Each structure stands twice: as structure tokens, then as C-alpha cells.
């Protein structure tokens, strides 16, 4: 397990995340979904077989296919439906607000190769209090080659307090993973990550070459905006540290 545990700083202007109590077993899986009828059933089938998951919440982001119908086949899964398309971060926030779980497991609806063992391996370091967040890095060339891309993986377990310390400016579309990495690394017990044998259906296959490419570059734009926010925040801290 790789670990990132930077010295805490008051970068985001929020409270320091308290120590993680060991033995927490209140765990909820939250899955944002948009037009994932062909793929979400596989993910839900795994999560419903994972013993440590107490609650499963799907937030359907106003899909135009039959995603909701597929979800409703799983009787133990709670379905929330957005009245209009609001984006990933909004859907995650709505899912978190719908549960009182102390540990959250975020998972993309189009993940392939997920197993109950992988879910448990991702959650366990947070349960044990080793880290405030643990990321399951996908097993593809891009994520294995470029660390900052790898750490933007959507599959992660985290404490509820880590999420609650995330400022609103990071709860915007695809900025959320970069923001969570910063919060966990600077304000809490750090985060860990490991490469897992999972992968995601690429956007160009899901949406077609043109639409998929546009969505990919829109996501990259969001990520760079989040990285810029983190850089500005750290620069401000450096200036404050030098002040008399």
C-alpha cells in the first residue's frame, strides 16, 4: 500500500479532521449514475454481495435510458433520482446526505472487474484507522504511469468527516477527487492507494467518438481547475507562513 500523509495545514480554512475511531462498521456505498443501464447491474451485484457494506445508494443523474429500472431490480438498493442532470459531485453530495454512515465507499457505475474482495481491501485501511481515505487505482496504462491521474480514480473509501471538510468549490462536477486528495492529505490522517484489477469503460465507447471525446476533455478541464485551486491554496499558506 502506498501512502500519502502530508503535514496538516490550515489550507482550506476548515477544521482539522479528527482521528479515525477504529472498528467502525457503518459503511454506505454511493454510486452516481448517468445512462449506465448496460453496466450498473454488474457493480450492484458485487456490492450486494459485500458483507461489510450496510447500505447501497444509487443517485440517478436524470438518465434518459432505463438505468432506474435496472437499479430497482435490486431490492436492498436505495434509488434517488435527480430532476435534472446535475453532475457527479452533486450526486455524491446527495447520496452522502441520504445516509448517516461514518464510512463512505464511492464507486463509478461503469466499473468492470470489481469483486467483494476488492471492495473490502479498499475499505479496510479506513476501518482500521490507518488512513482517512483509501483509493483503488485502476489497472490501466494511464493510471499506472501518471500518479496524479491515478489518484483521480472514482473508487475510494473515506470517512464521513473527510467529505464534510471538503469545501463547496471542490464539489463541482469532476473536481471532487482532487479536492478529496488534498483534504485527506493536508487535514487528516493522510490517504493510501493501491492498484486494483479493475477498469472503466472509456467514454468514447459509451458515448461515441465525438461526444465521448468532448466529455473527456470537459473532465480534464475540471481536474485542472481543481489542481489550480489546490496550488493557489498552498501558495497562500506559504505566504502566511512567512508572515511575521
Q: Phi and psi at residue 241, in whole multiples of 5°?
A: -70, -30
* pLDDT greater at residue 11 or residue 77: 77
Q: Strand 191-196 and strand 2-4: pairing? A: antiparallel
What average pLDDT score do residues 21-29 get? 73
CA 14 from chain center: how many Å? 20
Q: Structural domain tally of the chain?
A: 1
Is the pLDDT at 171 greater than 80? The verdict is yes
Q: Does residue 3 sit within a domain?
A: no
* pLDDT greater at residue 179 or residue 75: 75
Query: CA 79 → CA 7, 133, 218, distances in Å?
Result: 39, 25, 27
Is the pLDDT at 16 greater than 80? The verdict is no
pLDDT at 228: 81
Measuring CA to CA, which residue among 157, 97, 163 is closest to residue 127?
157
Query: CA 175 → CA 41, 95, 119, 121, distances in Å?
Result: 26, 17, 23, 25
pLDDT at 173: 76
CATH at 131: 3.90.550.10
Is the pLDDT at 9 greater than 80? The verdict is no
Is the pLDDT at 164 greater than 90? The verdict is yes
pLDDT at 233: 62
Q: Does residue 17 sit within a domain?
A: no
pLDDT in tens, 196-233: 999 877 666 676 777 667 666 667 777 677 778 776 66
Share above pLDDT 90 across residues of the chain, in percent, rounded to a whole number: 56
pLDDT in tens, 69-117: 999 999 999 999 999 999 999 999 999 999 999 999 999 999 999 999 9
Q: Does residue 190 sit within a domain?
A: yes
pLDDT at 149: 72
pLDDT at 169: 87
Is the pLDDT at 158 greater than 70? The verdict is yes
Host domain of residue 182? 25-201
Average per-residue pLDDT in the chain? 83
Give the relative orientation of helices 116-127 and 40-47 as an angle to the nearest 10 degrees.
60
Q: Does residue 164 sit within a domain?
A: yes
Q: Does residue 1 sit within a domain?
A: no
Beta-bridged to residue 159, according to DSSP, are 103
2-4 β-sheet, strand order:
2-4, 191-196, 133-138, 156-159, 103-106, 27-33, 55-60, 77-81
Give the relative orientation of helices 209-242 and 176-187 as an angle to the nearest 10 degrees.
30
Contact 154, 199 (CB under 8 A): no
- Report the 10 Å Cβ neighbour count for 199: 15
Amino acid at each position: 500500500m502506498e501512502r500519502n500523509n502530508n503535514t496538516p495545514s490550515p489550507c482550506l480554512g476548515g477544521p482539522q479532521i479528527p482521528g479515525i475511531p477504529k472498528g467502525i462498521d457503518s459503511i454506505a456505498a454511493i454510486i452516481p449514475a448517468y445512462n449506465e443501464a448496460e453496466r450498473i447491474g454488474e457493480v450492484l451485484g458485487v456490492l450486494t454481495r459485500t458483507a461489510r457494506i450496510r447500505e447501497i445508494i444509487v443517485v440517478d443523474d436524470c438518465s434518459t435510458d432505463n438505468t432506474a429500472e435496472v437499479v430497482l431490480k435490486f431490492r436492498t438498493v436505495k434509488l434517488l433520482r435527480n430532476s435534472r442532470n446535475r453532475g457527479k459531485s452533486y450526486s455524491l453530495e446527495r447520496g452522502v446526505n441520504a445516509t448517516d454512515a461514518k464510512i463512505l465507499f464511492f464507486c463509478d457505475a461503469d466499473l468492470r472487474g470489481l469483486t467483494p474482495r476488492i471492495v473490502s481491501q479498499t475499505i479496510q485501511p479506513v476501518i482500521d484507522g490507518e488512513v482517512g481515505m483509501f483509493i483503488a487505482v485502476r489497472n490501466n496504462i494511464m493510471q499506472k504511469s501518471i500518479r496524479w491521474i491515478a489518484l483521480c480514480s472514482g473508487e475510494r473509501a473515506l470517512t464521513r468527516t473527510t467529505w464534510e471538510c471538503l469545501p463547496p468549490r471542490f464539489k463541482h462536477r469532476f473536481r471532487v477527487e482532487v479536492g478529496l486528495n488534498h483534504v485527506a492529505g493536508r487535514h487528516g490522517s493522510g490517504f493510501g492507494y493501491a492498484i486494483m484489477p479493475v477498469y472503466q469503460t472509456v467514454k468514447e465507447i459509451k458515448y461515441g467518438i465525438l461526444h465521448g471525446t468532448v466529455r473527456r476533455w470537459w473532465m480534464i478541464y475540471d481536474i485542472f481547475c481543481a489542481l489550480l485551486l489546490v496550488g493557489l491554496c498552498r501558495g497562500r499558506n506559504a505566504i502566511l507562513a512567512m508572515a511575521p
